[in-house]
Amino acid sequence: MDLEDWARQCFERSHPRLVDIHLDILGEEPRTSLSKAIKSVLMMHMDRIRSLTMSGDTNTYGPLLTLIASLHHATHLEHLDLEHLDLSWFPDSLTTYSSSSIRMDNVIYAGVVLPNLRSQKLKRTRILFPLERLTSVDIHFILPDEDSFRQMAHMCPTLERLTLRSLHPLENPLPSGAPPIPMPSLRFLSVEFTKSAWGNSPHKSILSILSAPNL
């Protein structure tokens, strides 16, 4: 039984239940069969995907680009975990930053609404979908920006869990008397700093102006 038939049978047996998908395509094989299965099976069941975890080189796996671009059809998607995705295929205007760092002011599918999405985890990839109405955010290799954090706090008033890994210092100093960034629902905060980036930086951490009374 090839991968396409196996995937189709799995979806048929589990119908109509929602499914959790984990795609790890960092290796070379099975490139052809994997691409075929994604195109012919997953695209037919977008409305049944509850959780999607994806890592690999999207520049090589063409069908994954279609899958990502079609996630607005995943109306039941609750959790999105994207890791090590090469997004060099986007226009240059969207890829001017280092691939190892994330900027929160550069959302590629900024106008897409995923109504049930509550959790995003991003590692070594840009933000594809808005950080909106989420209860959990986990971001690796982030270049913080005050305005972006304020926007996220405004868009995610129910954010309960925030994980910032390999956090860099602010690129620009905070203005004098900068008001706090309110995160009234935040109950869990995990931070990991990038030591090399903080060596000679005179700037403060974005954490210095977070206001989270329920931590």
Instruction: Yes or no: say if 58 and 84 are a contact pair by the CB < 8 Å rule.
Output: no
The phi and psi torsions of 44 (rounded to 5 degrees) equal: -85, -10
What pLDDT is stored for residue 103 in this prediction?
64
Mean pLDDT in order along the chain per 10 residues (215 residues)? 76 89 65 62 88 71 70 92 64 42 70 91 82 90 78 90 84 78 95 71 75 93
What pLDDT is stored for residue 57 in this prediction?
57
* Predicted structure pTM score: 0.81
Q: CA 207, CA 141: separation in Å to the nearest integer? A: 15
The secondary structure of residue 92, as a DSSP letter, is G
The residue assigned the tokens 């990502």 is 68
Q: CA 56, CA 60: separation in Å to the nearest integer? A: 9
Q: Which residues of 65-215 form beta strands (DSSP E)? A: 79-83, 102-103, 119-123, 136-140, 142-143, 161-167, 181-182, 188-193, 210-211
What pLDDT is stored for residue 68 in this prediction?
79
**Helix/strand/coil (H/E/C) assignment for every residue in 44-91:** HHHHHEEEEEEEECCCCCHHHHHHHHCHHHCCCCCEEEEECCCCCCCC
Q: 156-194: buried (b, 16+ CB within 10 Å) or exposed (e) per residue?
A: beebbbbebbbbbbbeeeeeeeeeebbbebbeeeeeeee
Instruction: Yes or no: say if 190 and 175 are a contact pair by the CB < 8 Å rule.
Output: no
What pLDDT is stored for residue 138 in this prediction?
93
The secondary structure of residue 30, as a DSSP letter, is T
- The kind and range of the H/E element at 27 are none
What pLDDT is stored for residue 128 in this prediction?
82
Longest dimension (CA), the chain: 65
What pLDDT is stored for residue 105 in this prediction?
65
Q: CA 143, CA 185: separation in Å to the nearest integer? A: 23
Domain ranges of the chain: 1-77, 92-112+122-215
The residue assigned the tokens 């909106």 is 132
What pLDDT is stored for residue 184 in this prediction?
95
